[in-house]
Amino acid sequence: MLNRRIIPCLLLENEKLVKTIKFKTPKYIGDPINAVKIYNDKEVDEIIFLDITATIKNTKPPFKLISEIANECFMPFAYGGGINNVEDMKKIFSLGVEKIIINSNAIKNPNIIKEAMELFGSQSIIVSIDAKKNWAGKYEVFSECGKKSTGLDPVEWSKKVEKLGAGEIFLTSIEKDGTMEGYDLDLIQKVANKVNIPVIACGGAGEIKDFSKAIKFGASAVAAGSLFVYQGKNMGVLINFPTKEQIKSIEGMGQSIIMKIPQKEEIKKIVDDDFI
């Protein structure tokens, strides 16, 4: 059986690695290229990079850094942050990225999901959804790194992005982010039960058994940040990842259909070689 995906999710701020708690107070972790080298050695199958300031500052994605990451990465990786249009996507794909992650700009212009799907295929498009409970105790989608209330219900928004052609949903609990207290299982279940595309759960993983819980509540894959960059009670910075033996021991991590990740050669057929 194929294993369900366990994905390190690394945050970028000014081209440096940081980690947040509840989307606030970014703490410097280290150099992204060094982290990639370590994850190469640990034979990680997939990795995610999210620039947490590009959209807020209305800046372009860090194309040079993305290219450097792609050249160093032995594994497929996805990138999100500051992606405003399909031209940005074309350039990012041409640099060697396998999947694009869109969030705030998908909320502003939902049709970009359909446009991207038609150009690159749904398997290349991930829609990121950041959610937390509002003052009324109901889950709500927030954009711009959790700073802007949208009024959108995460379940209804998930159904819409699926209909528009998203291949996956990257679902993050803002309230759980960086706490290492476990995933928001209720949020995962609510969304996963209403869509047919894979849901990647993120936010709150504190130990590897949390992965099993997220899977049981409907997640198709699990992502984590703090668990893979901190070590011990004092949370010293140490890039880490569970061994294959540890992954095999996690209940529920088998029996999964993993979406085909397009290879770089396939992406190049889609992207205009003269675009850059």
Catalytic residue positions, numbered? 130
C-alpha closest to that of 236 among 48, 29, 49, 7: 29
Q: Residues 265, 174: contact at Cβ < 8 Å?
A: no
The answer to whether 8 touches 223, Cβ cutoff 8 Å, is: yes
Name the CA dihedral angle for 164, 167, 173, 179, rounded to a multiple of 10 degrees. Answer: -160
Half-sphere exposure of 83 (CA within 13 A, CB side): 30
End-to-end Cα, the chain, rounded Å: 40
Contact 132, 140 (CB under 8 A): yes
Q: Look at strands 5-13 and 221-224 and give their pairing.
A: parallel
